[in-house]
Amino acid sequence: MRLRFALAAALPALAALAAMALVGDRLARRALEAELGARLVAVAQAAAAGLPADRVAALQPGDEATRTYGHLAARLTALAAATGTRLVLARPDRTALLDSDGRHRIGEPLAELERDRFELGQVAAGRSVASQVLFEGVDGQLYKSGYAPLADAQGQVVALVAAHGTAPSFASLRDFRNLLLLLAVTGGALGAAAAVVAAVSVTRPLRALAGAARRMGAGDLASPMPAVAGRGEVATLRRTLEETRRALSARDEERETMLAGIAHEVRNPLGAMALYAGALADDLRGRPEAALVARIRSELDGLKRLVEEFLDYARPRPLALEPVEGGSLAEEVRDLCLPVAQARGVALQAGGEGAFEADRHLLRRAALNLVRNALEASPPGGAASLSVRVADGQAVVSVLDRGPGLPPEVRARLFQPFTTTRERGTGLGLALARQAALAHGGTLELLDRDGGGTEARLALPLRPAAGPPRRPAAAPLGKHRLDSP
């Protein structure tokens, strides 16, 4: 966006500078050409006025040694020296008569006049004109020609005078052109710098707002939108996003209050039912009805765990970072999951090494959910493993199983709450693990293993940034990888 904004601001300025430089160069050159042409025509007219037409018309090849030729040549040379031009006297058929530089003899064709045949036609008709084009001499200078007719007493054009000359202004024109180029380059650089500064001043608050919007989309509703100076469109956008954040935060607070109320109302009867079920179990111990009471108590425990997990998911808390030792955490999770593994006949291995910082409660709950999922997916007689290690600058919790893997239709909504493939599952285990990864600024992946099974890989930075709690955003359909924002 900054590049597009800078180009949009700089390109018109650069185009305008280039156009102005080009127009200025053209106008200056045209003015210099017109001034030089008028001066050369005046010199040619002055030369023609000082030459006797009858003597010029009488010149023949071989007359270069005559007194008449010498007198005419001296007059032409003196005028050429006085005006700083080269004067050529020629017949209308473009053959030489006199040359102030002595380059040509009488009767020699003048190839240099061929480029101005149109102008020479006008001179033959009795008009004084300047050449239309500049030509470059052997000295590298730009030259122009002025022409005037030499007529006899009857008005018959017997010869023409060509005045070839340059102007010191053309050297100035080159300097002026270089100056224009320098000004264009300097102006372009300054314009580009100004465009970049303007782009940064406009896009910097937009980038800040975009980052805040991404954080808000990831669940951070506690951090306000960054301040924006002024009252323009960006300030309006910031105000709108801030209003949206406050509305979402108020909605979440209302939801949490409602959930807390529901949990309180549900926990009280659950506690009472658990108490009565325990007393009933004591009264029916040894009787066939005791199995039914045991089933009731099991269902009550499931309901209690569901309420607690639902509240944990809906009401995240800030991170409480503390040092965590990988091996200790792995052994603790293994001990908690060992009864489930034994009940299913699955061997569970655990190990770890390295130390890092994390919210131990969140990380342990995430690891517990991942290991329980692996045990539920493993067939009887199978094996699952848990490792907590520091590798590649990250703390990695890896859970492996040899279960049937994840069907495509489950992967599409894998991290959505209440998605489960088990008959008695709550569907919040992976969602809570995902929430723990987000809170630490990490990633959660579920990968297929060669030979069958799944690897759950939760990676966290070694030193997460402690901040406000992050509420999980909706998982994208068709994805089975979660990256932190």
Q: 245-269, pLDDT tens digit by residue?
A: 888 888 877 877 777 777 777 878 8
Token couple for 18: 């280039």
> 276 or 476, which is more confident?
276
- Strand pairing partners for 448? 454
Instruction: Inform me whether the pLDDT recorded for 434 exceeds 50.
Output: yes
Per-residue pLDDT of 120-156, as tens digits, reads 999 999 999 998 877 766 666 777 889 999 998 888 9
Kindly state the percentage of the chain with pLDDT values over 70.
79
Highest mean predicted confidence (pLDDT) among 103-112, 256-265, 409-418: 103-112
How big is the chain, counted in residues? 485
Under the banding of pLDDT at 50, 70 and 90, the label for residue 483 is very low
- The reported pLDDT for the residue numbered 370 is 92
Which CATH superfamily includes the segment(s) 2-171?
A: PAS domain (3.30.450.20)
- The reported pLDDT for the residue numbered 459 is 93
- The reported pLDDT for the residue numbered 337 is 92
Per-residue pLDDT of 357-392, as tens digits, reads 999 988 998 999 899 989 988 999 999 999 999 988
Check if 2-171 and 318-482 are the same fold.
no
pLDDT (mean) for 278-291:
86
Whole-number mean pLDDT of the chain? Answer: 80
CA–CA separation, 329 and 253 (whole Å): 33
Q: Which whole-number Å values give the CA distances from 462 to 316, 355, 396, in the listed order?
A: 21, 8, 10
The residues near 64 (Cβ < 8 Å, ≥ 6 apart) are: 105, 106
Determine how many CB atoms are found less than 10 A away from the CB of residue 343. Answer: 9
Tell me the three state secondary structure of residue 83: helix
Per-residue pLDDT of 464-482, as tens digits, reads 765 555 554 444 333 333 3
State the DSSP code for 91. -
Instruction: Inform me whether the pLDDT recorded for 398 exceeds 90.
Output: yes
Q: Which whole-number Å values give the CA distances from 2 to 6, 188, 215, 230, in the listed order?
A: 6, 18, 22, 20
Under the banding of pLDDT at 50, 70 and 90, the label for residue 307 is confident
Per-residue pLDDT of 223-252, as tens digits, reads 888 887 777 777 888 888 889 888 888 887
Instruction: Inform me whether the pLDDT recorded for 109 exceeds 70.
Output: yes
8 A C-beta contact, residue 128 and residue 37: no
**Which residue ranges make up each domain of the chain?**
2-171, 223-315, 318-482
- The reported pLDDT for the residue numbered 185 is 73
Q: Tell me: domain 318-482, CATH 3.30.565.10, correct?
A: yes
Pairing of strands 383-391, 355-359: unpaired
The residues near 243 (Cβ < 8 Å, ≥ 6 apart) are: none
Instruction: Inform me whether the pLDDT recorded for 329 exceeds 90.
Output: yes
Under the banding of pLDDT at 50, 70 and 90, the label for residue 102 is confident
Under the banding of pLDDT at 50, 70 and 90, the label for residue 401 is very high
391: left (phi over 0), alpha (psi -120 to 50) or beta: beta
Q: Tell the residue number behind the tokens 């030489």, with chain if given.
A: 96
8 A C-beta contact, residue 364 and residue 329: yes
Closest to 241 (Cα-Cα) out of 221, 259, 263: 221
- The reported pLDDT for the residue numbered 480 is 35
Per-residue pLDDT of 17-62, as tens digits, reads 677 767 766 777 777 778 888 888 999 999 999 899 999 999 999 8
CA–CA separation, 92 and 160 (whole Å): 7
Q: Tell me: domain 223-315, CATH 1.10.10.10, correct?
A: no
Q: Tell the residue number behind the tokens 């080269």, with chain if given.
A: 86
Backbone angles phi, psi at 232, to 5 degrees: -85, -160
- The reported pLDDT for the residue numbered 388 is 94
